[in-house]
Structure 1
């Protein structure tokens, strides 16, 4: 009796510890994601810090993150690179470079949107991510068309359209930039499945930065030289604030570590659900602290989109559970099949013995 009680207590303690750690990882990710978004808005917004150079800010992030990633991988050797298949030059150019290009444009466009749109409205537009991912997955034959799923995607799109209609400070160029960022990011996520996951390569956030961040710098260099460098040269009074940009870049890198912990210790689906909580917190913060105007139509439209995204995550969760259950029963089925085959062979042996 005592052993059973201590065993139950041990199981209970481990479950409680796991739940507490999961909430901790979620909280850290939400805090860092929240911080990076608000910090970027503060730096780029003309009414705040007034440094409207999104390509330069993205390049500072990528330079800082790639340097730390190289230090962790090559210097301290705390993170191992994938060894199978080997990351050859041809494989890097054909698989990693396209992903790096899409990542560069996604970050550039999303950071640019902060100059023109409120934090709350940007989060509402980001609700279109499942729609973009599903649509592009169909184009790449990674998903099959389902009428029910498409109806869900249409409901999300309708909700975002209503939110956009009710936006007090609607800016068409800002919306174009944010929708472009969503499209680039969705394509990147699908290409990761097509070009990397299908070939057996899985990259955590650190190895992703190790391979992708230098590639991002290269793709950002040309638009930076054409668009922002001439203006930066003419602004002779500007001096890089190492405290502002150092802490901002550190938060961006810490966010990648938080993603690594959250997905590694829980699941990608947990991050999606946590993302919904983060979006509502950002909308509340944008309205109460930054004093961005959030209208009733905004909230009504985003509420519809939110329900659509929540239902989409619910369906994904059930599919994931079904897949895990199938994996668990597969070994049992194989074991049963082996036992049947063994029984048949023994029976055949006995028959042969009796015939002899």
Structure 2
């Protein structure tokens, strides 16, 4: 049994910060997009990418959190651009889904990421897992089906968009391993964000102007009546960066496997917190379905550890 005294305080602080930023950005985005009524998810994502670009530059070039890694070739730049597009699509879809479904259901769907990762890995790289590893994915999918069937706030469009976000997030992780696999091309997550965030912002700027016309003027008009909107956008955008920063630090202080295990628990905590704050209705069957999914993810993590 691991005693709390044996865990360094720095690790405890990093994990706490990771939980806080992950859950915080979800709740903040949900509040902005639904409760507050700021229904501009693409613009919100662009603000996130802008903040990630600025903070990444400061963190790496000024504060020297991690050593700067330069792009080595045009081919590597193209690969990062592809990853940036997939990353951008994933974040936008995730934010759009919060317009239609509660955070608890969003997290239940997000827990199926290992399933989509395994599927993508098989079709893209032909990588096969042990049969027991694939078997553990059955309760992951079954749990989401149960949760969907009994979700009081179910919305088909929100469900499809959230699944799209989850799939593209899994697809990005597989592409990242495939495209940046050679030693000369590998970038740590913070340097990768330094390059991806500005690229995503350049994609999101015209998308925002086309899909959410006059959003900048609308934001200015809202700010004249309620200056809090500026603080909300800055806070949400800052949290988006700290999600990536603390994700990197947790892996550095523990391991990638520990990050997966903590991520499973984080999803459950986010569900409970969102229900307490937003008081969205949820059935007992839905909770059982989500618990079933989390159990499947835990079994999947154990199977990957044993058979990889």
What TM-score do the two structures reach when normalised by structure 2? 0.90
Q: Deviations over 1:7-57 (max 9, x none)?
A: xxxxx99x9454544333222211111111111111111xx1110111101
Cα distance 1:281–1:223, how it changes in 2: closer, same or farther (>3 A)? same
Counterpart secondary structure, 1:140: helix
Could you say which residue in structure 2 is the equivalent of 1:259?
Answer: 247
How many angstroms apart in 2 are the aligned matches of 1:260 and 1:234? 36
Could you say which residue in structure 2 is the equivalent of 1:179?
Answer: 163
Cα distance 1:200–1:161, how it changes in 2: closer, same or farther (>3 A)? farther
Could you say which residue in structure 1 is the equivalent of 2:38?
Answer: 51
Q: 1:28 aligns with which of 13, 17, 31?
A: 17
**More contact order relative to length (CA 8 Å, sep ≥ 6):** 2
Q: 2:304 aligns with which of 316, 319, 333?
A: 316
How many angstroms apart in 2 are the aligned matches of 1:253 and 1:288? 25
Residue range with higher mean Cα deviation, 297-306 or 147-156: 147-156
Deviation at 1:242, TM superposition (A): 2.6
Could you say which residue in structure 2 is the equivalent of 1:298?
Answer: 286
Deviation at 1:280, TM superposition (A): 1.4
Give yes or no for contact 1:63–1:213 (8 Å, CA) kept in 2: yes
Give yes or no for contact 2:84–2:197 (8 Å, CA) kept in 1: yes
Residue range with higher mean Cα deviation, 134-143 or 165-174: 134-143
Cα distance 1:16–1:286, how it changes in 2: closer, same or farther (>3 A)? closer
Give yes or no for contact 2:29–2:98 (8 Å, CA) kept in 1: yes
Give yes or no for contact 1:82–1:201 (8 Å, CA) kept in 2: no
Give yes or no for contact 1:26–1:271 (8 Å, CA) kept in 2: no
Larger radius of gyration: 1
How many angstroms apart in 2 are the aligned matches of 1:235 and 1:273? 39
Q: Does 1:118 align with 2:102?
A: yes
Aligned residue pair count = 303
Q: 1:65 aligns with which of 52, 66, 70?
A: 52
Cα distance 1:305–1:235, how it changes in 2: closer, same or farther (>3 A)? closer
Cα distance 1:319–1:29, how it changes in 2: closer, same or farther (>3 A)? farther
Map 1:214-253 → 2, pairs under 5 A: 214-230=198-214, 233=217, 237-239=221-223, 241-253=229-241
Q: Does 1:140 align with 2:118?
A: no
How many angstroms apart in 2 are the aligned matches of 1:78 and 1:126? 29
Q: 1:79 aligns with which of 66, 70, 74?
A: 66
How many angstroms apart in 1 are the aligned matches of 2:126 and 2:177? 8
Question: Where does the alignment leave 5 or more consecutive residues of structure 2 unmatched?
Answer: none
Deviation at 1:75, TM superposition (A): 4.0
Q: 1:96 aligns with which of 62, 80, 89?
A: 80
Q: Does 1:41 align with 2:30?
A: yes
Give yes or no for contact 1:196–1:202 (8 Å, CA) kept in 2: yes
Runs of 4+ more than 6 Å apart? none
How many angstroms apart in 1 are the aligned matches of 2:289 and 2:56? 40
Could you say which residue in structure 2 is the equivalent of 1:197?
Answer: 181
Give yes or no for contact 1:164–1:170 (8 Å, CA) kept in 2: yes
What TM-score do the two structures reach when normalised by structure 1? 0.79
How many angstroms apart in 2 are the aligned matches of 1:133 and 1:303? 20
Give yes or no for contact 2:32–2:39 (8 Å, CA) kept in 1: yes
Deviation at 1:169, TM superposition (A): 1.1
Counterpart secondary structure, 1:229: coil
Counterpart secondary structure, 2:278: coil
Give yes or no for contact 1:128–1:157 (8 Å, CA) kept in 2: yes
Question: Where does the alignment leave 5 or more consecutive residues of structure 1 unmatched?
Answer: 1-11, 321-356
Deviation at 1:254, TM superposition (A): 1.9
